[in-house]
Structure 1
Amino acid sequence: MRQIVWTAFIMGGILMSGLPAVAQTQTQRGEYLVTIMDCTGCHTPGTFLGKPDMQRPLAGSEVGFQIPGLGIFYPPNLTPDAETGLGKWSEDDIIKAVRTGVRPDGRQLVPIMPYHSYGNLTDADAKALARYLKSMKPVRNQVPGPFGPNEKPTAAYLTVVMPQ
């Protein structure tokens, strides 16, 4: 009898622990994914200056990354603002960019965006991520650039300096 009660207790705990994930809406799942994928770590104003502006999460960064030989790139606005963000992108456009690094206009995202890893998202998770980004409050925030390797940037950027 003890074995049956213990087994029921364990199985009940396993089943109950799965309920929150099952009960999540697709948008809640997307918000969770944005959090664990640390999208705000690059795409939120002020983050690289040590003062992330959480009143404008995912609205893009005013500080870019220099990729040797490619140029300087600024993490874009991921909110659904029609002019400065993803407002004109469909959920499928977002999924394609996150998974393959290809924008709707055919341009390739720079490899600092970890689309190689995000290419392993399940269909359900990719859809949830896109749905969440489309559900956010639009924030108008035009980020600088991008700037080619021979262009002069107009905003701060991070670079790698090799020791000499």
Structure 2
Amino acid sequence: MKVGFAVAAVSILAAFTNTATADDQVARGAYLASIMDCGGCHNTGAFTPKPNVETPLAGSDIGFEVPGLGVFYPANLTPDKKTGLGAWSDAEIIAAFTTGLRPDGRQLAPAMPWMSYGHITKEDAASLVAYLRSLKPVEHQVPGPFGAQEKATAPYMTVKMP
């Protein structure tokens, strides 16, 4: 009787720990996006008293100026095919936040902390992508980027080096 109970208990425990559903993966990705503070920059209205939480991660209209490099605006991370990540493969999205390189070979904005995210596990990277893919696609083209000699067309903050 004790052996039968132990086998049943182990089987139930294994069922709970070994079955990850798509919902679990999206929930894990949402958690990761939260602790990675993706919305701290990539939300419309980020850097204002009223960030837009209705369209999370749809990009920001307020950028960062890095002297000598230009002005950069946090991108639209929703699965919109025209203005977001909808045309990017999962591998391209993961490469962007782990290596700092876009599919076209350009470097992401210097403010993007990809070096901090470069050690994410494969499972967590896949969960983050699953979450981004689960978002409502929002057509929102962010400004720029603008080179050091170009005039930015939208508000930005300046990073001033000492």
TM-score (normalised: structure 2): 0.84
**What does residue 143 of structure 2 align with?**
144
Residue ranges of structure 2 left out of the alignment (5+ in a row): 1-12
1:45–1:58 Cα contact (<8 Å) kept: yes
2:82–2:139 Cα contact (<8 Å) kept: yes
1:27–1:131 Cα contact (<8 Å) kept: yes
**What does residue 95 of structure 1 align with?**
94
The number of equivalent residue pairs is 145
Residue ranges of structure 1 left out of the alignment (5+ in a row): 1-14
CA RMSD of aligned residues (A): 1.8
How far apart are the structure 1 equivalents of 2:36 and 2:151?
Answer: 31
Structure 1 residues 152 and 30, CA, compared in 2 at 3 Å: closer, same or farther? same
Q: Deviations over 1:75-127 (max 9, x none)?
A: 00000001110010111111000100011111111221000010010110011
- 1:32 counterpart SS class: helix
How far apart are the structure 2 equivalents of 1:42 and 1:135?
Answer: 19
How far apart are the structure 2 equivalents of 1:113 and 1:132?
Answer: 19
- 1:48 counterpart SS class: coil
Show the 5 A alignment for 1:38-57: 38-57=37-56
Deviation at 1:62, TM superposition (A): 0.3
Q: Counterpart amino acid of 2:111? A: I
Show the 5 A alignment for 1:11-160: 25-160=24-159
1:93–1:103 Cα contact (<8 Å) kept: yes
Identity, % of aligned positions: 59
How far apart are the structure 2 equivalents of 1:27 and 1:56?
Answer: 17
How far apart are the structure 1 equivalents of 2:88 and 2:138?
Answer: 15
Moved over 4 A (4+): none
**What does residue 10 of structure 2 align with?**
none
TM-score (normalised: structure 1): 0.83
2:70–2:145 Cα contact (<8 Å) kept: yes
